Amino acid sequence: MKKQISVEEAVAKVKDGMTIMVGGFLANGTPNKILDALSKANVKNLTVIANDAAFSNKGVGQLFINKQVKKYIASHIGSNELIQEQLNNKEIEVELVPQGTLAERIRCGGCGLGGVLTQTGMGTIIADGKQVVNVDGKDYLLEKPLRADIAFVGASKGDKDGNLVYFGTSQNFNPWMAMAADTVIAGVDNLVEVGEIAPEQVHTPAILVDYIVC
C-alpha cells in the first residue's frame, strides 16, 4: 500500500468532533505543514491532545484562530494568548495535566494499559473527581489512558514504508502518540528510500504509520 498522501488528503481525514493528538513541544516535532492546512479547513468541535498550545501563529496553536477546538488536553497553554482568551470567555474546555502524567497517559493508551498510578497531583485540584488507589499504605491517583482518532506526528526523516526517525528533542511526544491513535499520519521532513534507515535507528516502525506527508 502506498502511504504517501498530500497535505489536503491528510486534512480531509479529520472530521467534526474527532479527537486528535499532535506531537511536538512548542511546535518542535510538530508536522507544521499539516497543521497550517488544518487551521484553514472547515472542521470544528475537535478534542485536541498535545503537550502545549504552541503559538497563535504556528503549529497546533493555529487551531484557535477559527475556534476549531471544543476541548484541549495539555500540560500548559501559557504560550498562546488565543486559547487563554477562549478559556476566559468559556468558549473552550481545557484539561491541564502534569507533563509527566500526560506522557504516561498517552503511553498507557498506546500499550493497552488501564492507566497509571501516580502521586503527582494528590491534594490539589488535579485530584478532583479521580479515583484514589491505595498501594502498600500509600494513596495514588489513577490516571486513565488517552487515545485519539488521529495522531499527527512530525518526523525528521522517514522512508516510504513509514519507518520514522525523530532528531534531538523532536522525539518528545511523537513516539507515544504514534502508538495511541487509530490512524497515524506523519509529516516527514526528509523522505528516503526503504533500506536507507538502519533498523536500530528507527523510533517509530512502519507498522504503526498509516500515511506520510512530505
* CATH class of this structure's domain 7-113+146-213: alpha beta
Q: Can you give the pTM of this predicted structure?
A: 0.96
Which residues fall within 8 angstroms of residue 200, CB to CB, at 6 or more apart? Answer: none
Of 79, 126, 118, 101, the residue nearest 176 (C-alpha): 101
Q: pLDDT of 110-147, one tens digit each?
A: 999 999 999 999 999 999 999 999 999 999 999 999 99
Predicted local confidence at residue 1, as pLDDT: 73
22-53 pLDDT tens trace: 999 999 999 999 999 999 999 999 999 999 99
Looking at the predicted structure, is the pLDDT value of residue 204 above 80?
yes
Alpha-carbon distance of 96 to 83, in angstroms, equals 12
Q: Which residue ranges make up each domain of the chain?
A: 7-113+146-213
